[in-house]
Amino acid sequence: MLYLVGFLLTIICLLVLGVNVWVLIDHLLTTGVPPSIQHPVKFRILHYCFHLITTWGNILEKMNICSMPQFFRFVQDSFVSKENLGVFVKDMHFGTIPVRLFHPKAPSSKPRKGIIFLHGGGAVIGSLDCYHNVCTFLARETDSVLVSVGYRKLPYYHHPSLYYDCLNASIHFLKSSKAYGVDPSRVVICGDSVGGAAALVVTQTLLGRTDIPKIRAQVLIYPILQAFYFQSPSHLTNINFPLLTKDFLMTCVCKCLAIDCSWKDAMLSGASISPSDWKKYEKWLSPDNIPKRFRTEYQPPKLPVPFNEAAYLETKHAMNVNISPLLADDKIIAQLPEAFIVSLHWDIIRDDALLYKKRLEDQGVPVTWHHVEDGFHGCILFFNNTFFSFPCSLNILNAVASYIKDL
């Protein structure tokens, strides 16, 4: 019996070691480190851990033990040391939607600004706990009441659950802002990555509402603003830069939008975009709209790929404006509040921010742009991490806080 137990333990140890070594080799062979990234060794270790967690999550999912998103969020939240310096924190619900309220401890003689924070993670990773310290920092440094929305995620919920939760939580907070000591005319909506998309969709959706206060400003931190055109310069040149590689991006897009992963190649090549749709959206998505300095290594596709109607029918919902708000009509864009946009040079979705910036400017909407040369996707989570801290993380949060304070 002891021999059998020892044999099984040996097999398990060899399996674990084998997976870990394979992930390390795969990381070293396929993953690039942008030249401007500070602390490249630390950065490689970070991405190796990220790659390792997703790999083990996929293994556990295939074994029907738990899903990859659940495993990743469990590991992610386990390493969070929550800090409440300078703020009161309260977990509550807006209807059925879990939210976390951050209220500065310092007394105020007048109503404060409000921040609606929608976190990133592609509806795969990220949580209220994971973003707790980011929200604490923003609430304290801007002297604002911040509400962080715990929207529904994979594996049980797909689009539009995320959108509806963010929309309904935002409406609730805007309607009841005075009860939280907030000036309803100074509420900012903020989000990173897919949270940035949700922030923009919510802002666009509420434009015509007269029964609730208007959003004062939109703060979008490396947002993903469209989910069907993957041939822009950043999509073709930044494909293997952590933490958002091409493979992980497409996994998030397909799972969130309930698209079978077999359509990935058609989406990446552009075969899923009909000629009529491209003719309609080219004026907004063309690489010519992106400044030349971001196109130095870009090689445009030589020939258009044949249109795949089956792929189009399976993926066309990705063009809806509640998924790809970058495609909203000019009359909608022109009515939006002023914006603060953060872009990262080596981010695979960098061009979404640049294209949206141009759309706002073309319609006369004030834009403050903060571009980070040494940033990487998801970096704000590490602004106060003892080991995995990077200068770009605090750089971005300080810039966001400074902008909100000055409103």
Query: Catalytic annotation on 347?
Result: yes
Of 192, 347, 352, 374, catalytic: 347
pLDDT tens readout for residues 132-182: 999 999 999 999 999 999 999 999 999 999 999 999 999 999 999 999 999
Which CATH code for domain 82-226+321-406? 3.40.50.1820
Query: Catalytic annotation on 370?
Result: no
Mean pLDDT of the chain: 91
Of 193, 272, 324, 343, catalytic: 193
Largest Cα–Cα distance in the chain? Answer: 76
Residue whose structure tokens are 């969130």: 256
Find the range with the poorest average confidence among 29-38, 184-193, 219-228: 29-38
Find the range with the poorest average confidence among 215-224, 356-365, 376-385: 376-385
Mean pLDDT over residues 96-114, rounded? 94
Does 341 score more than 90 pLDDT? yes
pLDDT tens readout for residues 356-379: 999 999 999 999 999 999 999 999
Of 103, 132, 159, 377, catalytic: 377
Query: Catalytic annotation on 193?
Result: yes
Residue spans of the domains in the chain: they are 2-77, 82-226+321-406
pTM of the entire predicted model: 0.94
pLDDT tens readout for residues 72-95: 999 999 888 888 999 999 999 999
- Residue 393 CB burial class (10 angstroms; 0-12, 13-18, ≥19): buried
Does 69 score more than 90 pLDDT? yes
CA dihedral 371, 374, 380, 381 (to 10 degrees): 160
Residue 386 tokens, joined: 């003892």
Sheet containing 87-94, strands listed edge to edge, beginning at the edge strand earlier in sequence: 87-94, 97-104, 144-149, 112-118, 182-192, 217-221, 339-344, 367-372
Find the range with the poorest average confidence among 6-15, 138-147, 223-232, 263-272: 6-15
